[in-house]
């Protein structure tokens, strides 16, 4: 069982790197340069969250872009450690019911890295993730579902699966979903990857 679990997690990691390389975007080069050259495995706990109830819809609604990765993530979700950055003191219970992330590569994920953090974010339908910021440089790639992103005070922009969305260090950004849930790949790099994101709300 342990070997099968490790193989599934490592298979997702391989697919993630291949997908990022396929985009051939200049802003991805520093993230890929920091990608671990050897996959060193770590034992992790597994944890589930209410937001995982959207996995069937995410799997069924996956676009051709990244469909294999979406299927792999949805299938291996019970083998991953799903977390939340915020608590009920930060955001509403309704938001927390429709929010969660899981790291696949990094300081807490099953594949170790001290240079990047990479994983998956899920947001349920009609969910507003308020403006926040963090020291780490970040890149998102939507995989299933269409959502809108806002950077600073700029206009909201709908971003389809396969669109790289780059956030500089400390750049405020927000997301909101429509009628469908969102599964997005994220990658962080920088010296403060473990720093909690700070909400830009009172």
The pTM of this model reads 0.95
Say what angle helices 67-76 and 2-23 make with each other, to 10 degrees: 150
Q: In 3-state terms, what secondary structure has residue 66?
A: coil
Within a 10 A sphere around the Cβ of 145, how many other Cβ atoms? 26
Residue ranges per structural domain of the chain: 2-191
Contact by Cβ (8 Å): 113, 36: yes
pLDDT digits (tens, 9 = 90+) for 12-51: 999 999 999 999 999 999 999 999 999 999 999 999 999 9
The pLDDT, as a whole number, for residue 2 is: 61
Topology of domain 2-191, per CATH? Answer: Jelly Rolls (2.60.120)
CA 118 – CA 96 distance, rounded (Å): 21
């Amino acid at each position: 069982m342990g070997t099968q679990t490790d193989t599934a997690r490592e298979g997702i990691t391989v697919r993630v790197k291949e997908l990022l390389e396929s985009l051939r975007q200049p802003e991805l080069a520093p993230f890929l340069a920091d990608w671990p050259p050897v996959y060193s495995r770590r034992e992790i706990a597994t944890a589930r969250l209410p937001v995982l109830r959207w996995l069937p819809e995410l799997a069924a609604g996956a676009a051709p872009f990244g469909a294999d990765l979406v299927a792999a993530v949805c299938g291996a979700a019970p083998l991953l450690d799903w977390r939340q950055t915020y608590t009920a003191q930060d955001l509403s219970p309704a938001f927390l019911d429709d929010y969660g992330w899981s790291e696949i590569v990094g300081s807490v994920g099953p594949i170790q890295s001290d240079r990047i953090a990479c994983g998956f974010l899920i947001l349920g339908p009609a969910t507003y993730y308020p403006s926040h910021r963090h020291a780490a440089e970040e890149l998102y790639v939507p995989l299933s579902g269409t959502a809108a992103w806002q950077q600073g005070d700029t206009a909201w922009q709908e971003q389809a699966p396969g669109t790289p969305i780059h956030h500089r260090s400390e750049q405020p950004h927000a997301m909101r979903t429509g009628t469908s849930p969102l599964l997005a790949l994220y990658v962080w790099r920088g010296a403060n990857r473990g720093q909690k994101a700070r909400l830009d709300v009172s």
